[in-house]
A and B are shown apart, each in its own frame.
Chain A
Amino acid sequence: MATKVIMPKLSPTMEEGQLSRWLKKEGDKVSMGEPLAEIDTDKATMEMQALGNGVLRKILIHDGESAPLGQLIAVIGEPDEDISALLSEVGSAESSKAASQAKPAEKPSSSPGEEKETSDSPEAPAKSKAADTAKIEPSPKSEPAASATTQSSSPGGNGTQRGRLIVSPLAARMAAESGIDLRSITGSGPGGRIIKRDVEELVAGKAAPAAAATADVGQRTVMQQSPVEPSAYRDVPASEMRRTIAKRLVTSLGPIPHFFLTTEIAMDRAAEMRSSVNALDPELKISVNDIIIKVAASALRQHPQVNASFQDKMVRYYEHADIGVAVAIEDGLITPIVRSADQKSLGQIASEVRDLAGRARNRKLRPEEFLGATFSISNLGMFGIDEFTAVINPPEGAILAVGAMAPKPVVRDNEIVIRQMMRVTMSCDHRVIDGATGAKFLQTFKKILENPLFLVV
């Protein structure tokens, strides 16, 4: 039976995908799970896998072209199977496009497997080679050639499922229970339906390849024993007071009631530590930001109330600090995650951040590498920003905005001295973090950063 290949949803916010390049050509044998094409989403370039066995019979959009979610982009089938009915489903847009092709019956000689195909199909024309430059946009219906297509289906035939998730009830429930965003899953059921095994695979095995990838790059990663799975957590029912606070505050400022806490930190010792460590081993290439990640993770372990997320009827406390690191990329921003940063060495964090940021810029991150942090850090110091406020990335409870480090006059022991000062501002979700809770966390954060030796005690 023929398998429809549709534009899959590969990122939570994706609405259309651009076909970066096909990894198979028409006539190639494909089997379930084999990479079929690379798709550019709004976040990353991802591989799309085949969801059926057979021969790639028909490619409907070509390298560089875009298609909305759910649109038929190719057909996999038996070599001699009649797929004309499937192709006619593509809708009037596609068929009028085919009709507007000048030389309809031309067949490329390169695909022997499909010669038998459609002797009885009036629509055989739109072969890939001929259609290479064709655009997906519907050509005007008024074109005279359109009447030549026999099977133009009802208008608007494609894209009716755009943006709608198809998911089995069980899979929906399992995803909700595991805190997985369904939009991050690619369904393997008929029509892209998300089914039990898709959720199970994500829950069970998906973290493993991420570990392998980072190990490749990080030359100093020691045995890679540290966990890379998303943090475990415990859910505690939200108290009546906590729910009232949440309800009241949310009416005041957006869906997430932000408040902001700013402090100024003397960075001399942290900077000193960075240069001494890098002097010992230049391979390490530790940045100040790596130290900030490590210190934040360490402080989060001491203040679990801040490593938390408001979940409507409960507050979720994470056991590990999965730190999202905001990385500016062309046309946008993405926050790859250092999983369990509290358990990793500075060297590990440094090499991981380098790898993640590099792949983020090349849009090669997998969803599990940028979805589901417990706390985020955004650093605009390199742009000379003294201080700023960052917007929380839900469902995280807080984000730390880090400004530039600069020498400033400060008073120490009644004397004016010069120190390397840095301002940080934490945005807190007031539904889960109160002022004093956030302040105590920042106090610890500041204490460790000003005296990085605390990292080892």
Chain B
Amino acid sequence: MAVITMREALNQALREEMLRDENVFLMGEEVAAYEGAYKVTKGLLAELGDKRVIDTPITELGFAGLGVGAAMAGLRPIIEFMTFNFSILATDQIINSAAKMLYMSGGQFKVPIVFRGPGGSAFQVSSQHSQAIESWFAYFPGLKVVMPSTPADAKGLLKSAIRDDDPVIFIEQERMYGNKGEVSDDVGFTIPLGVADVKREGTDATIVARSLMVPVALKAAEQLEEQGVSCEVIDPRTIRPLDIETILKSVKKTNRVVIAEESHPFFGVSAEIGSQIMERAFDYLDAPVKRVSGADVPMPYAKNLEDLAIPKVDQIIAAVREVSYLD
């Protein structure tokens, strides 16, 4: 065990998997010579060479398509988007080719590819560069969507994503690259996709949070503990496939749920989770499922407005108190 940053944990995962399997290669804008816009690919070109670590032109649809073709031909590409904002340009390849190829080829073509990069809100880069779009990808059958919230989860989940035979969308939170945590240095360490993690145990209310909202939810839970409310914090880690069972188990224990997310509420991941809770644990709910989401506006550039658009500890506390009938 060593305490490292999320950035270093991701780097370890890439390096270990590329050393483990020579079919794995990395491609994207500035991943090689510049060692990544966020330095996640540091040292990889030097160690693995330019056949495995490849700089591309600024052409997301092009290199995403190249990756899909390579995956169909038997390689295991990792496509880095400088940020997921730019993946929007590549969605035809991701949604229409990667997600559907196994189905449309009658099982003949697997597409073992990872699309990864930073997503979610960033620091004052305004509407087009600061947004959470996981619900777009999670919508489509055929894609897996992963969002780690700790360095350990980032490493374990990325290694599993690279070994997975289906296309995986792997969204790293741009504000969290510098977050530190204990990470196993065992090369065999992985975390299976589709398994939620109980980040904190509690009895009175369940907070479901992912990515950036996990540390926020944990802080809220700490303060709520002092107010006599014991919160369970669950991080699904994988958005699709969703480990709804772990969430339901918690809801049946606490009878109250708050879902926290930085994304927009409308048609968001919280809507799906809330709906499944309603369908499958209705008789265990003592209060309506409460959502705490990012503001339903394009991300503002102004610092004060940007702050207001992203959920804070106090909002989660207020939501938990509301579903617990405390105010």
Contact = CB atoms under 8 A, between A and B. Distances in A.
Nearest to A171: B286
Interface residues of A, number: 13
Interface string B290-327: 00000000000000000000000000000000000101
Contacts of B284: 169-170, 173
B285 A170 contact: yes
B282 interface: yes
Contacts of A170: 255, 283-286
B320 to A, nearest CB: 15
A168 interface: yes
Interface residues of B, number: 9
Contacts of B327: 1
Contacts of A172: 283
Interface string B270-294: 0000000000001111110000000
10 A-B pairs closest in CB distance: A170-B286, A196-B286, A173-B283, A168-B286, A169-B282, A169-B285, A169-B283, A170-B255, A195-B286, A189-B325
Interface string A147-189: 0000000000000000000001111110000000000000011
Interface string A197-219: 10000000000000000000000
Contacts, number: 28
B255 A197 contact: no
Nearest to B278: A169
Contacts of B286: 168-171, 195-196
A263 B304 CA distance: 86
A217 B285 CA distance: 42
Say what secondary structure dominates the interface of chain B: loop
A210 to B, nearest CB: 26
Nearest to B251: A170
Nearest to B327: A1
Contacts of B325: 188-190, 195, 197
A285 to B, nearest CB: 47
Nearest to A52: B327
A328 B135 CA distance: 65
A427 B186 CA distance: 78
A85 B325 CA distance: 23
Given A170-B283, A195-B286, 13 more contacts: A1-B327, A168-B285, A169-B282, A169-B285, A169-B286, A170-B255, A170-B285, A170-B286, A171-B286, A172-B283, A189-B325, A190-B325, A197-B325
Nearest to A170: B286
A24 to B, nearest CB: 21
A195 B283 contact: no
B255 A196 contact: yes
Contacts of A196: 255, 286
Interface string B224-257: 0000000000000000000000000000000100
B227 to A, nearest CB: 16
18 contacts: A168-B285, A168-B286, A169-B282, A169-B283, A169-B285, A169-B286, A170-B255, A170-B285, A170-B286, A171-B286, A172-B283, A173-B284, A189-B287, A189-B325, A190-B325, A195-B286, A196-B255, A196-B286
A170 B253 CA distance: 11
Nearest to A168: B286
B217 to A, nearest CB: 23
A1 B325 CA distance: 13
Contacts of B287: 168, 189, 195
B234 to A, nearest CB: 19
A172 B325 CA distance: 17
Q: Which of A169, A173, A195, A197 has the most CB of B within 10 A?
A: A169
A168 B286 CA distance: 5
